[in-house]
Amino acid sequence: MTFEQWMRSVLDRVEGALEQYLPAESIEPARLHEAMRYAVLGGGKRVRPLLCHAAGELTGAKAECLDAASAALEMIHVYSLVHDDMPCMDDDDLRRGKPTVHVQYDEATALLVGDALQSQAFVALTSDVLEPAKQAALVRELALASGSIGMAGGQAIDLASVGHTLTRPQLETMHRLKTGALLRAAVRMGALTGDTPDASALQALDAYSAAVGLAFQVVDDILDVTTDSATLGKTAGKDAKDGKPTYVSIIGLDASRALAAQLRSDAHAALAPFGARAQRLAELADLVVNRVS
Ligand code: GRG
178 exposure class (CB count in 10 Å sphere: 0-12, 13-18, 19+):
buried
Contact 101, 110 (CB under 8 A): yes
Q: Tell me the one-letter amino acid at 262.
A: Q
Å from CA of 77 to ligand 1 middle: 7
Using CA atoms, how far apart are residues 44 and 293, in angstroms rounded to an integer? 10
Domains observed in the chain: 3-290 (1.10.600.10)
Q: What is the pLDDT of residue 291?
A: 87
User: pTM of the prediction?
Assistant: 0.95
| Closest residue by CA, ligand 1 atom 10 | 81
C-alpha count within 13 angstroms, C-beta hemisphere, residue 46: 26
- Which atom, in ligand 1's list, is nearest to the CA of 90? 11
State the pLDDT at residue 234.
80
Residue 138: the pLDDT is: 98
**Interval 219-242: pLDDT, tens:** 999 999 998 888 878 887 777 777
Longest dimension (CA), the chain: 52
The DSSP line for 196-237 is PPPHHHHHHHHHHHHHHHHHHHHHHHHHHHHS-HHHHTS-TT
* 246, 158 Cβ separation under 8 angstroms: no
Residues 60, 293: contact at Cβ < 8 Å? no
pLDDT tens per residue across span 43-77? 999 999 999 999 999 999 999 999 999 999 999 99
Burial status of residue 165 (CB atoms within 10 A of its CB: 0-12, 13-18, 19 or more): exposed
Q: Which atom of ligand 1 is nearest to the CA of 114?
A: 1
**CA angle (99, 101, 107) in 5-degree steps:** 125
Query: For the residues 12-28, what does the mean pLDDT come to?
Result: 98
pLDDT, tens digit, for every residue of 110-169? 999 999 999 999 999 999 999 999 999 999 999 999 999 999 999 999 999 888 888 889
- For residue 71, the CA-to-ligand 1 centroid distance in Å is 16
What 3-state class would DSSP assign to 121? helix
Q: d(Cα 194, Cα 109) in Å, to the nearest integer?
A: 37
The answer, yes or no, to whether the previous bond of 29 is cis (omega within 30 of 0) is yes
Residues 6+ apart with CB under 8 A from 264: 211, 215, 285, 286, 288, 289
For ligand 1, atom 19: residue with the closest CA: 220
Average pLDDT in the 26-43 region? 97
Question: In whole angstroms, what is the distance from residue 34 CA to residue 224 CA?
Answer: 30
Q: For residue 98, list its beta bridge partners.
A: 95
* Ligand 1 pocket, mutate which of 179, 183, 184, 241 (most atoms under 8 A from CB): 179
Share the mean pLDDT of the chain: 95
Residues whose CB falls within 8 Å of the CB of residue 2, separated by 6 or more in sequence, listed in order:
none
What pLDDT does residue 157 have?
94
The pairing of strands 94-95 and 98-99 is antiparallel
Instruction: Give residue 202 CA to ligand 1 midpoint distance, Å.
Output: 25
pLDDT-above-70 percentage for the chain? 100
Across 91-119, average pLDDT: 97
pLDDT tens by residue, 243-265? 788 899 889 999 999 999 999 99
**Minimum mean pLDDT range among 26-35, 134-143, 227-236, 284-293:** 227-236
**Centroid of ligand 1 to alpha carbon of 179 (angstroms):** 7
**Distance (Å) of CA 257 to CA 227, 261, 290:** 14, 6, 10
**Atom 18 of ligand 1, nearest CA residue:** 179
Ligand 1 centroid distance, CA of 10 (Å) = 21
Ligand 1: residues with CB < 6 A are 44-45, 47, 77, 80-81, 83-84, 96, 151-152, 155, 178-179, 220
Closest residue by Cα to residue 44 from 4, 74, 2, 6: 74
pLDDT band at 293 (very low <50, low <70, confident <90, very high): confident
Q: How far is the CA of 100 from the centre of ligand 1 (A)?
A: 13
